[in-house]
C-alpha cells in the first residue's frame, strides 16, 4: 500500500475496471457455512484461544441472536443470509505469523501485486529512497519522510506476517495480530477489548464480537512515540467469506502512534460481507492518528457484486489532553455503513474526523461521525467531503453532542458535497445535541457541481475529461488529503482518479 | 502551410437563432501576429471559444483548418495538445489545485498525448522557475490554487505563464491587457514577445492600441457584428484609436 508505484503496478494487472480484482489460487481452510454456537467454538478452537475468550464470543453470539438488523441508514440491499456465509477462512499453509522466508510465495506475490513490497520492506526498511523526489507533490512540499512503514497484512482471516517486529519491540511497542495478543498479552486484551465498542453495541459489532477472525493489536507504552507508521492491509480473497477483523489500539500516557489501514478485495459476483470493529483508547496526553484508504470492490456498473462494508470504529479519549484523529478515504464497497467516532471523555481532549467519500456507479455510502463531548473543554473538528457520481447515493450522517458536564465543548463541522452528473444523490444529516449552554457548535455545509467552465478550462490546457475531473475533485478534497500521511497522499490522489473513471461523458 | 485558416465561418449559440459570427475569413501564417479589435459584443471572445472548442456553439457554415487538419473535428484537449492555446478573458478558478500542480498536470498531459516523455520534477521546476522569473511571478503565488484570490492582473500574468510553459503553436490572447497596470502590461508584453518565433503564430484580441505598441502586430482586423469589416497593418490600430469604431459599425450594418 505504502508504495508510490502501487497503483501503476496494479494497473498492469488490469482486471476490468477494478484494478485489484484478482484472486489468488491458494488452498484455504474454510469453516462450514452458517452461524451457530458450534461455529463460534470452531473459530475459537482454530485459534487455540483460552476459555475466557471463547466465553466472551459466546456471550456476544447469544446477544446477537436477540438483535435486529438496523435499517435506518440510507442504503438499500437484499437481506443478508447469514447461514450462507463462511465465517472463517484461512490460507491453509499459513496458520499464523512466521518469518518472511517461510511464507507461501504465492501469498507474497499477491501482496506484491497489491503493491506491498513486504520483502523489500524488510530488506530496505523503507518504501522509497531518501533522495527520490515525489512525483505528485506540489511546489514547496518537502519530499517524503523516512518512509518507514510496518505492515500487518491480513489475508482473509489470518494475519500472515508482521514486519518490523524487532525494531518495534526495542521501543516497547507491541504490534501483532489480535489472536496473538489474546495469547501473549491477555491482561491488556481483557482490560481493553470491548471497552470502547461493547459487545452489545450494535448488530454488526455484536456479530463481529462473536466471530471476529483476526485483526491487529497495538500497544504503545507510556511516553513512547512509535518509531514508524503502523499499517494493516486487508484483503478478502475467499468466496463467500465474511471478514470480521477486530482491531484494538491502546496509546498509554503521553504516547503517539499513526496507524494506516488499506483495504482491497477481488472481484466477485456475489456480495461479500465485511463487518469490522476498531477500538482506540488514548490515556492522558496520548494521541492516535488513524487513517484508512478503503478500496474494496464496489460491484460492477449494474450493481452486481461488491462488498458490504458495515464497520464500527470508535475511539475513546479516556485520558485528559488526549487526542484521536480519524482520516478516511472511502472509494470502494457496494455499501458503506461507517461512522468513526470519538468519545471525548478526558478533560481538554480533542477529536477529529476528516473524510473523503466517493461514490460512483451504484455505490451507496452512508458515513459520517459522532463526537460525544463528555469532559470539560473538549473540542472536535469534522471536515467531510462527499463526491457523488453515476447513479450513486452519498449520505453524510453526523452527531455532535455535549453532555451536561461538558462545559466549553466546541465543535466545528464542515460538510461539502460535490455532484458529478445529475443521476446521483447527496444528503447531509447532521444531528446536534447540546445539553450544556456553554457549548459552541458551528456547522457549515455546501453542495456544488463541477462547473462546465472549470472542465473547459482544464481541457483547454490539455487534460482529457477524466483527468480534468480527477484534478478538480482532488482540489475539492485537498483539505482532507493533507491530513493523510505522506505515504498515502500520492497514491490516494491517483485512486480518486481511478474511482471516478467513467463518471462523465 | 498556414497555421490557421478560417473560411466563411458562421456560428450561432446552440439553440438560438441569432448568428454571432457571420462569415469570418482569416488566414494566419507561422511567425505572424494578428490583432483583432472591435466593439463590445462583436464576437471576439466567441471566435476564441470556437477555435478552442468550447461547447455551446453551433457552426452553421464554413471551415477552420489548423496546420492542415480540420480543427472543428478535434476535441478540446486534442486541440490543446496539438498546440492551440487560449489565454482567457476571464480565467477560471479551480479551488484546492495549486497553480504549480495544474501547470505540471497540463504539461504532462499534453506531452503524453503527443507521445513524449513526462518531464522529471527537476526539469519541470527549472522551466517554471525561468518562465515565472521572466513574468515577475513569485514562486509563492504558484502554490496558491489556480486563479483563486488572484487579482485581475495576477490572473492575466498567470495565463501568460501557462502559455510560456506549454509552448503552443497558436496563441489566442483574449484581452490579456485589460486589468493590467502599466508596468504589468510591459512585463506581460515582454513575456509574449519572448514567445514570438518563426514557427509560432498569435491572435491578439484587444481594445487598446497601447498593447500593440509593445506587441507589434503584422496585421490588424476590425471585427464588427460578427464580421471582419476591415483589415490593415499596424497603423489601422492607431486610426481606430483616433476615430473609434463608429465608421466600421455602420459599414457592417
Ligand atoms: N452563451 C451565450 N448566450 C447568449 N448570447 C451569447 C452567449 N455568448 C455570447 N453571446 C452574445 O454574443 C455576442 C458576442 O459576444 P462576445 O463575448 O464574443 O463579444 P466580445 O467581442 O468578446 O465582447 P467584449 O469586447 O465585451 O469582450 C454578444 O452579444 C453576447 O451577448
Ligand atoms: Mg470578449
Q: What is the pLDDT along chain A (505 residues), one digit of tens a residue?
A: 333 333 333 333 333 344 455 455 555 566 677 788 888 998 898 888 999 999 999 999 999 999 888 777 777 777 777 777 777 766 554 444 445 555 556 555 655 555 544 433 333 222 223 233 332 233 322 223 334 555 555 555 454 445 566 778 889 999 888 888 999 999 999 999 999 999 889 999 999 999 998 788 999 999 999 987 787 755 444 544 557 889 999 999 999 999 988 755 454 555 677 889 999 999 999 999 999 887 777 777 777 777 788 889 999 999 999 999 999 988 877 788 889 999 999 999 999 999 999 888 888 888 899 999 999 999 999 999 999 888 888 889 899 999 999 999 999 999 999 998 888 888 888 899 999 899 999 999 999 889 899 999 999 999 999 999 999 999 999 989 888 877 677 778 877 887 787 777 5
pLDDT tens-digit map of B200-243: 999 999 988 889 999 999 999 999 999 999 999 988 888 888 88
Residue closest to B38 by CA, chosen among B214, B232, B248:
B248
What is the distance between the alpha carbons of residues A265 and A271, in angstroms, rounded to a whole number?
A: 11
Q: What is the pLDDT at residue B106?
A: 96
A453 touches chain B (CB under 8 A): yes
Nearest residue on chain A to B86, judged by CA atoms?
A460
Indicate the pairing of strand B33-37 with strand B201-205.
parallel
Rounded to whole angstroms, the Cα distance separating A22 from A12 reads 12
- Of B52, B243, B251, which is closest to residue B159 (Cα–Cα)? B52
Q: Interface pTM (ipTM) of the complex?
A: 0.96
- Which of the residue ranges A64-78, A385-399, B12-26, B166-180 would you say has the lowest mean pLDDT? A64-78
pLDDT of residue A69: 83
pLDDT of the residue at A110: 54
Q: What does the pLDDT average to over B20-36?
A: 95
The one-character DSSP state at B253 is -
- Kind and range of the H or E element at A259? strand A256-264
Contacts of A479 in chain B (CB under 8 A): 96
DSSP state of B144: S
Cα(B187)–Cα(B192) distance, rounded to whole angstroms? 9
Cα of A180 vs centre of ligand 1, distance in Å, is 71
Contact list in A for residue B88 (CB cut-off 8 A) is 457
Contact criterion met (CB < 8 Å) for A478 and B96:
yes
What is the DSSP track for A445-503? EEEEE--HHHHHHHHHTT--HHHHHHHHHHHHTHHHHTTS-HHHHHHHHHHHHHHTTTS
The reply to whether residue B109 touches residue A461, judged by beta carbons under 8 angstroms, is: yes
What is the sign of the dihedral through the CA atoms of B6, B7, B8 and B9? negative
Q: Which residue in the set A465, A471, A476 is minimally distant from B105, CB to CB? A: A471
E strand intervals along A333-409:
335-338, 341-344, 350-359, 364-373, 379-388, 393-402
Q: Which residues of B touch A464 (CB under 8 A)?
A: 75, 77, 109, 113
Grid cell 497593418 in the structure block, residue: B233
User: Ligand 2 is a single-atom ion; what residues have CB below 5 A from it?
Assistant: B 44-45, 89
CA distance B119 to chain A (A): 10
Q: How far apart are CA A262 and CA A292, in angstroms?
A: 6
Q: Give me the pLDDT at residue A147, please.
A: 46
Q: pLDDT tens across B72-91, in order?
A: 999 999 999 999 999 999 99
pLDDT at position A8, please?
39
And the C-alpha cell for A141?
Answer: 512540499
- Whether A251 and A287 have beta carbons less than 8 Å apart is answered as yes
- Whether the full predicted model's pTM is greater than 0.90, yes or no, is no
Strands A89-91, A28-30: pairing is: antiparallel
Nearest CA to ligand 1 atom 28: B41
CA distance A363 to chain B (A): 26
Q: Is the pLDDT of residue B249 over 90?
A: no
Q: What is the DSSP letter of A164?
A: T
Cβ atoms of residues A314 and A279 within 8 Å: yes
* Helices of type H across A345-451: none
Query: In terms of Cα–Cα distance, which of B8, B22, B19 is closest to B65?
Result: B8
Q: Is B109–A464 a contact, with Cβ atoms under 8 angstroms apart?
A: yes
Q: Which ligand is nearest to the CA of B223?
A: 1
* Average pLDDT score over residue span B137-157: 92
User: What whole-number distance in Å separates Cα of residue A94 and Cα of residue A160?
Assistant: 7
pLDDT at A104: 58
Give yes or no for A131 touching B (CB within 8 A): no
Ligand in closest contact with the CA of A453: 1
Q: Chain B residue with minimal CA distance to A482?
A: B96
Q: Which residue of B has its CA nearest to A141?
A: B143
Chain A residues in contact with B113 by the CB 8 A cut-off are 462, 464
| Ligand 1 environment, Cβ below 6 A | B 13, 20, 38, 40-46, 56, 89
- Segment 472-501 of chain A within 8 Å of chain B by CB: 472, 474-479
**A460 at interface of B, judged by CB pairs closer than 8 A:** yes
pLDDT (0 to 100) of residue A17:
43
Give the helix/strand (H/E) hosting B76: helix B76-81
Which cell is B120 given? 522529471
Strands, E, within chain B: which ranges?
A: 4-13, 19-28, 33-37, 57-66, 69-70, 84-87, 94-98, 145-146, 170-174, 201-205, 219-224, 227-232
CA B187/CA B175 separation, integer angstroms: 15
CB atoms within 10 A of CB A109: 12
Collect all residues of chain A within an 8 Å Cβ-Cβ radius of residue B109: 461-464, 467
Question: Under an 8 A CB cutoff, do B96 and A134 touch?
Answer: no
Phi, psi of B175 (to 5 degrees): 45, 50
Q: What is the model's pLDDT at position B219? A: 95
- Say whether B139 and A139 touch across the interface (CB within 8 A): yes
Torsion of CA A69, A71, A73, A75, to 10 degrees: 100
CA distance B74 to B48: 15
Supply φ then ψ for residue A184, to 5 degrees: -85, -30
Amino acid at each position: 500500500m505504502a508504495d508510490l508505484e502501487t497503483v501503476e503496478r496494479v494497473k498492469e494487472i488490469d482486471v476490468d475496471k477494478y484494478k485489484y480484482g484478482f484472486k489468488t489460487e491458494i488452498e484455504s481452510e474454510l469453516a462450514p457455512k452458517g452461524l451457530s454456537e458450534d461455529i463460534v467454538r470452531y473459530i475459537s478452537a482454530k485459534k487455540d484461544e483460552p476459555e475466557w475468550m471463547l466465553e466472551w464470543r459466546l456471550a456476544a453470539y447469544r446477544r446477537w441472536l436477540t438483535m435486529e438488523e438496523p435499517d435506518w441508514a440510507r442504503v438499500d440491499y437484499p437481506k443478508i443470509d447469514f447461514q450462507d456465509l463462511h465465517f472463517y477462512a484461512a490460507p491453509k499453509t499459513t496458520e499464523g505469523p512466521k518469518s518472511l522466508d517461510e511464507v507461501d510465495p504465492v501469498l507474497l506475490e499477491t501482496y506484491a501485486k497489491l503493491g506491498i513490497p513486504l520483502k523489500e520492506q524488510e530488506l530496505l526498511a523503507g518504501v522509497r529512497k531518501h533522495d527520490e523526489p515525489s512525483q505528485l507533490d506540489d511546489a514547496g512540499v518537502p519530499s517524503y519522510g523516512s518512509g518507514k512503514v510496518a505492515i500487518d497484512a491480513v489475508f482473509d482471516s489470518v494475519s500472515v506476517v508482521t514486519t518490523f517486529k524487532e525494531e518495534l519491540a526495542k521501543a516497547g511497542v507491541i504490534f501483532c495480530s489480535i489472536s496473538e495478543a489474546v495469547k501473549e498479552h491477555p491482561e491488556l486484551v481483557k482490560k481493553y477489548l470491548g471497552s470502547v465498542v461493547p459487545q452489545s453495541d450494535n448488530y454488526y459489532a455484536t456479530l463481529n464480537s462473536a466471530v471476529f477472525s483476526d485483526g491487529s493489536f497495538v500497544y504503545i507504552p507510556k511516553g513512547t512515540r512509535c518509531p514508524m507508521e503502523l499499517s494493516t492491509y486487508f484483503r478478502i480473497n475467499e468466496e463467500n467469506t465474511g471478514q470480521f477483523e477486530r482491531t484494538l489500539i491502546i496509546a498509554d500516557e503521553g504516547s503517539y502512534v499513526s496507524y494506516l489501514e488499506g483495504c482491497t478485495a477481488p472481484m466477485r459476483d456475489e456480495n461479500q460481507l465485511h463487518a469490522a470493529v476498531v477500538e482506540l483508547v488514548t490515556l492522558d496526553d496520548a494521541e492516535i492518528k488513524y487513517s484508512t484508504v478503503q478500496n474494496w470492490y464496489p460491484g460492477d456498473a449494474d450493481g452486481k457484486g461488491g462488498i458490504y462494508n458495515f464497520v464500527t470504529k470508535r475511539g475513546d479519549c479516556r485520558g485528559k489532553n488526549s487526542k484521536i484523529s480519524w482520516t478516511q478515504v472511502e472509494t470502494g464497497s457496494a455499501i458503506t455503513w461507517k461512522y468513526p467516532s470519538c468519545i471525548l471523555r478526558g478533560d481538554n481532549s480533542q477529536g477529529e474526523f476528516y473524510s473523503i467519500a466517493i461514490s460512483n456507479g451504484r455505490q451507496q455510502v452512508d458515513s459520517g461521525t459522532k463526537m460525544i463531548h463528555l469532559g470539560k473543554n473538549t473540542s472536535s473538528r469534522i471536515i467531510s467531503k462527499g463526491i457523488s457520481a453515476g447513479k450513486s447515493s452519498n449520505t453524510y450522517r453526523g452527531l455532535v453532542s455535549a453532555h451536561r458536564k461538558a462545559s466549553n465543548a466546541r465543535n466545528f463541522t464542515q460538510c461539502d458535497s460535490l455532484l458529478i452528473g445529475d443521476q446521483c444523490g447527496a444528503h447531509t444529516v447532521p444531528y446536534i445535541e447540546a445539553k450544556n449552554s456553554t457549548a459552541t457548535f458551528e456547522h457549515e455545509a455546501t453542495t456544488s457541481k463541477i462547473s462546465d467552465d472549470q472542465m473547459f478550462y482544464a481541457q483547454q490546457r490539455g487534460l482529457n475529461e477524466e483527468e480534468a475531473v480527477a484534478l478538480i475533485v482532488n482540489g475539492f478534497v485537498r483539505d482532507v488529503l493533507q491530513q493523510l500521511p505522506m505515504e498515502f497522499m500520492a497514491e490516494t490522489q491517483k485512486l480518486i482518479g481511478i474511482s471516478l473513471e467513467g463518471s462523465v461523458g | 502551410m498556414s497555421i490557421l485558416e478560417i473560411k466563411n465561418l458562421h456560428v450561432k449559440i446552440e439553440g438560438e437563432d441569432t448568428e454571432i459570427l457571420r462569415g469570418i475569413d482569416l488566414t494566419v501564417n507561422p511567425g505572424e501576429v494578428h490583432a483583432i479589435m472591435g466593439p463590445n459584443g462583436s464576437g471576439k471572445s466567441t471566435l476564441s471559444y470556437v477555435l478552442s472548442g468550447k461547447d455551446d456553439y453551433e457552426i452553421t457554415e464554413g471551415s477552420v483548418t489548423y496546420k492542415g487538419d480540420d480543427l472543428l473535428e478535434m476535441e478540446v484537449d486534442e486541440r490543446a495538445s496539438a498546440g492551440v492555446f487560449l489565454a482567457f478573458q476571464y480565467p477560471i478558478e479551480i479551488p484546492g489545485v495549486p497553480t504549480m500542480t495544474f501547470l505540471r498536470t497540463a504539461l504532462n498531459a499534453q506531452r503524453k498525448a503527443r507521445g513524449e516523455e513526462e518531464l522529471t520534477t527537476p526539469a519541470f521546476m527549472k522551466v517554471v522557475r525561468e518562465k515565472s522569473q521572466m513574468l515577475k511571478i513569485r514562486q509563492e503565488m504558484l502554490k496558491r490554487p489556480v486563479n483563486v484570490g488572484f487579482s485581475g492582473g495576477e490572473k492575466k500574468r498567470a495565463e501568460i505563464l501557462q502559455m510560456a510553459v506549454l509552448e503552443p503553436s497558436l496563441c489566442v490572447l483574449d484581452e490579456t491587457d485589460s486589468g493590467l497596470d502599466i508596468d504589468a502590461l510591459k512585463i506581460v508584453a515582454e513575456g509574449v514577445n519572448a514567445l514570438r518565433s518563426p514557427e509560432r503564430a498569435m491572435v491578439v484580441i484587444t481594445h487598446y492600441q497601447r498593447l500593440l505598441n509593445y506587441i507589434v502586430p503584422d496585421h490588424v482586423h476590425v471585427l464588427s457584428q460578427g464580421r471582419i469589416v476591415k483589415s490593415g497593418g499596424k497603423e489601422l490600430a492607431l486610426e481606430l484609436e483616433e476615430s473609434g469604431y463608429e465608421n466600421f459599425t455602420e459599414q457592417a450594418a
